[in-house]
Amino acid sequence: MARALGAVYAGVAVAALVLALISPPAAAAVPRISQPVWNELTPQQQQILSPLAGEWDRLEPYRRKKWLGIAQRYPTMQADEQQRVQLRMRQWINLTPDQRKAAREKYKALRNAPPEQRAAVKQKWQEYKDLPEDEKRRLQAAAQRKPQPKSAAGKKPPPKTTVQPLPDRPGATPPSSGQAAAPTSDPAPPTALPPPSGH
């Protein structure tokens, strides 16, 4: 019997050792990626990213990393690209969280779109850029007047409805607290509709 008990303990010890070797240690969790807070940025980064200053410390680390990448490429950009980046940052800061989410979804959809569709969007954008400034302002004003469809996140929840209790039926007993109602001899399923007038 001692030999059998020793074999069981040895088996358990081997199983525990195997599990310890194949399972990752709990302390080996993915390290949290931290990015610098605003005061830790270089003066050049602060100048480039100045439209984001008020919100920088609240941005998720991966978004800070993205903006730092843009700031790193910024000095190599053409002047018109730099102006566009500055304009986009100012526009981005003025968007609501729902608008930002919608913009990200549109960008992701366009990035995953077929090349023909991306080319068509690029062509339309170029046509828009070539329009006179007064025509652009007219189109922008018309777009602002046009009601925007709400995203799923922006929709209001449906109004709450209350269920009215059914009128007491003959033979039905009200349930006591925590118990289900006793079945009745009435084969008709309960409904919220009043009984037909012939009853």
Look at residue 47 and tell me if it is in a domain. yes
Look at residue 195 and tell me if it is in a domain. no
Domain count, the chain: 1
**Of 57, 54, 120, residue with least CA distance to 92:** 54
Look at residue 84 and tell me if it is in a domain. yes
Residue 21: the pLDDT is 46
Look at residue 38 and tell me if it is in a domain. yes
Look at residue 49 and tell me if it is in a domain. yes
Structure tokens at 38: 């605003």
Look at residue 9 and tell me if it is in a domain. no
Look at residue 78 and tell me if it is in a domain. yes
Written as tens digits, the pLDDT of the chain (199 aa) is: 656 555 555 555 555 444 444 545 554 555 566 789 999 999 999 999 999 999 999 989 998 999 999 999 999 999 999 999 999 999 988 889 899 899 889 888 988 989 998 899 889 888 888 888 898 888 888 887 876 655 544 555 555 555 555 555 555 555 554 444 444 444 444 444 455 555 5
Q: Are 98 and 154 in contact (CB under 8 A)?
A: yes
User: DSSP alpha helices (H): ranges in the chain?
Assistant: 2-22, 43-48, 61-73, 79-93, 97-111, 115-129, 133-145
**Of 103, 89, 91, 97, residue with least CA distance to 45:** 89
Look at residue 90 and tell me if it is in a domain. yes
DSSP 130-150: TS-HHHHHHHHHHHHHSPPPP
